[in-house]
A = this chain, B = another copy of it.
Amino acid sequence: MGELMRRYWHPVGLSGDATATPRVVRILGEDLVLFRDGSGKAGLLYPRCMHRGTSLYYGRVEQRGIRCCYHGWLFDVAGHCLEQPCEPNGGERRHNVRQPWYPVEERYGLVFAYMGPADRQPPLPRFDVLDELADGEFVEADDSSIGSGGPQVVPCNWLQHFENVMDPFHVPILHGSFSGMQFTNAMASMPWVVFEETDRGIRSTSLRTIDGRTFRRVTEAVLPTLRVVPSPRVGQFARVESIGWTLPIDDTTYRIYVAGRVREHGELGRMRSRYGGKTWFELTDDEHRAMPGDYEAQTGQGPITFHSEEHLRLSDRGIAMLRRMLRTQLDAVAAGRDPIGAGADAPSTIRLDAGNFLEP
């Protein structure tokens, strides 16, 4: 799965996280150092200095790159070694070595990295729902793991969360009856659902009837990890407001970066779940147990759940389709082909169908 994940761009921080202070970030099981040099370029380097292995976290960011504290080797954002001050003449063979690095690009307030093979690097995709803004709208980024229903860093495998996107049936149970009404009345009834493959992932369409009209809710799971989920509070009937990237920190932890259209700063952060006026962090252990939400349901499956112990049923069809699509992409990578949405020929813009719609 790691090789498949590496064929796509992943968010590694807010743009504001890349500064003159080196920052350790963990992505796909690797610890890396994120920084921004004096000319404004963000860099993502392997943390162990290639000379003697000291962490560049203790390095000093300068105009042209980051300098290791131990013997002063200076590296630019692409890992080139610019200075070796303890060597005669500043290191005449310094151009023969290079610090391991990954390419980064910034968009929608996020820093993205590509950790796969260089010759298969896709363009960093744009999304219609974040590019086509109405008057007064702008795009804001959030790193608080909106949608996990819990803390910023969630202690379970990312797929346990991602599958939840294709599981509309849990909504009336977990969110509609179990812990009181977490969302809205419109969501509390059992929907009629269609799951479909798209050219980018799996799409679910949930149909409910409201006052004699059809409430159509479309949710998408876009490969590799994108949750495209309209607001479950259904404040308006409209195309999806935001995209969430489920970042696998490693096999047993994940976090979510979100970018979305807003009209006020901080609007995304206010989407975080609240139970009885309390945030997740303010609940007692007893309240977590008595009022479980997505966090409890998903981490309750353990650090990595056992598919071998599951008993999937008709209502799990979306999950089965998502797993099958992932398995097909794993086979493609193993066979030397590009998985969907990846590779040098991948589309540079993705149009999405998700949203809450009220139909006549």
| B169–A57 touching, CB < 8 Å | no
Assess the A48–B174 pair: CB atoms within 8 A.
Answer: no
B58 and A21: CB pair below 8 A? no
* Chain A interface residue bracket vs B: 35 or more
Partner of A301, one of B22, B50, B54: B54
Question: 24 pairs across A/B with beta carbons < 8 Å?
Answer: A48-B306, A50-B310, A50-B311, A52-B316, A53-B301, A53-B302, A53-B309, A57-B300, A58-B292, A58-B296, A69-B179, A69-B296, A69-B297, A69-B300, A71-B173, A72-B178, A85-B190, A86-B169, A86-B170, A86-B190, A86-B313, A87-B314, A88-B314, A97-B311
- 5 extra interface residue pairs, beta carbon distance < 8 Å, beyond A53-B310, A97-B311: A55-B301, A69-B173, A69-B178, A71-B174, A86-B169
Q: Which residues of B contact A97 (CB under 8 A)?
A: 311
Q: Nearest Cβ in chain B — how far from A98, in angstroms?
A: 10
What are the residues of chain B within 8 A of A51 when measuring CB–CB? 310-313
Contact code string A290-321 (vs B, CB < 8 Å = 1, else 0): 00100011101110011001111111100000
Task: Please determine whether A173 and B58 come into contact, CB atoms closer than 8 angstroms.
Answer: no
A356 within 8 A of B: no
Q: Write out the residue numbers on chain B whose beta carbons fall within 8 Å of the beta carbon of A169.
A: 71, 86
Please measure, in the bound complex, the distance between the C-alpha atom of A174 and the C-alpha atom of B212, giving whole angstroms: 74
Say yes or no for A60: interface residue by CB 8 A criterion: yes
Q: Does A84 contact B (CB under 8 A)?
A: yes
How many angstroms between the C-alpha atoms of A22 and B50 in the bound complex?
45
Please provide the chain A residues from 58 to 107 with a CB less than 8 Å away from any CB of chain B in the complex: 58, 60, 69-72, 84-88, 91, 97
Q: Do A58 and B297 touch (CB < 8 A)?
A: yes
Could you mark each residue 172-207 of chain A with 1 if its beta carbon is under 8 Å from any beta carbon of chain B, else 0? 011001110000000000100000000000000000
With known contacts A57-B300, A58-B289, A174-B69, A309–B88 Cβ distance under 8 A: no
Q: Which of B55, B300, B311 contacts A54 (CB 8 A)?
A: B300
